Chain A
Amino acid sequence: MQQMKAAPEIMSETSIKPASVWDYANPTRFLGLVDRILPAFVMLTIVSMAIGLWMAFSAPEDYQQGATVLIMFLHVPAAWLAMMVYTIMSVSALGTLVWRHPLADVSLRAAAPLGAAFTFLALITGSLWGKPMWGTWWVWDARLTSVLVLFIIYMGLIALSKAIEEPSVAARALAIITLVGFINIPIIKFSVDWWNTLHQPASVSRFDRPAMDVAFLYPLLVMALAYTLLFFTLHLMGMRNEILRRRIRSMKMQTARQAEGS
């Protein structure tokens, strides 16, 4: 019942005044927003994931790939998310450096472990798909290698976020490294493509067809939607956690100050 009531409220609020990211620059207001929309996101994620899985398992077997096409429904959305999350982090980095939005750093920090997890899933499921299809767990193929580099970048960012204590310095450091990484990713991709074509020309047969059959495309799209919703749900929750962490930090500093004063 509460969810039903919450939904029209958001609608009316956004239609009355033009919503902007700045409306939620205040963490407390942002937490309020999260509490209101999170249930809807959770529901949508569960429903779309269920539909996606059902469609995936009722899809026919591929004439080439057999039942392993089932792995594609996990692998491709994870790989898409791996890239999308990095893009969101880069936009957040711009938010920190250019617009100085107070939540931009919160968003970047909350997204990093999720991006790393999706990249990890893309690598693992890709490996499990590669073994039966290509006959090997891993090839130093251009795409695999650049995703591996992306994974290392994610891990580096997480390590950096844990290493620097001072929040404003950490925010700037994370934003700068994220952006340098973003500019560099096309270069890495390009260099790795080039590197691979020289060393092992087309030894890997792959799943290249002009257009994917609708029987596979629809489940794939629904699964991708479910993964995207899952990311946004976890991202909102992660941002909430990060805001609470900061609040605890400032409260503790306050008690420390009071103890000093007395």
Chain B
Amino acid sequence: MFGQYSGFIIPSYLISAAVIAGLVVWTVLVYRNRRAEILELEKRGVKRRYQKEAE
């Protein structure tokens, strides 16, 4: 597809995409886990200082 250099171009795009996707997935998963954990703690009745401002 890119001539003789496809062996270098395709991996570099694939690796970049993989690293960026990894970052995004990791960030989103961490966010979900932490939010679930906070909801869980709140359900158990733990209050935090800014309770009134929480959604």
Q: Do A and B touch each other in the complex, judged by CB within 8 A?
A: yes
A interface with B by C-beta (< 8 Å): 26-28, 66-68, 70-71, 74-75, 78, 113-114, 117, 120-121, 124-125, 128-129, 131-132, 230, 234, 237-238, 240-241, 244-245, 247-248, 250-252, 254-255
CA distance A138 to B36 in the complex (A): 45
How many positions in chain B have a CB within 8 Å of any CB in the partner chain? 33
CA distance A254 to B49 in the complex (A): 11
Asked, given contacts A237-B31, A241-B27, whether A125 binds B37 with beta carbons under 8 Å apart, the answer is no
Question: Are A251 and B16 in contact, CB atoms less than 8 angstroms apart?
Answer: no
Chain A's nearest CB lies how many Å from the CB of B48? Answer: 6
Question: Are B34 and A248 in contact, CB atoms less than 8 angstroms apart?
Answer: yes
Question: Are A121 and B16 in contact, CB atoms less than 8 angstroms apart?
Answer: yes
Cβ-defined partner of A71 (8 Å) among B9, B20, B34, B50: B9
Question: Are A66 and B3 in contact, CB atoms less than 8 angstroms apart?
Answer: yes
CA distance A70 to B50 in the complex (A): 50
Question: Are B20 and A68 in contact, CB atoms less than 8 angstroms apart?
Answer: no
Question: Are B19 and A117 in contact, CB atoms less than 8 angstroms apart?
Answer: yes
CA distance A241 to B23 in the complex (A): 13
Asked, given contacts A230-B20, A241-B31, A255-B44, whether A128 binds B2 with beta carbons under 8 Å apart, the answer is no
Asked, given contacts A128-B11, A254-B46, whether A248 binds B37 with beta carbons under 8 Å apart, the answer is yes
* Chain B neighbourhood of A244, CB < 8 A: 31, 34-35, 38
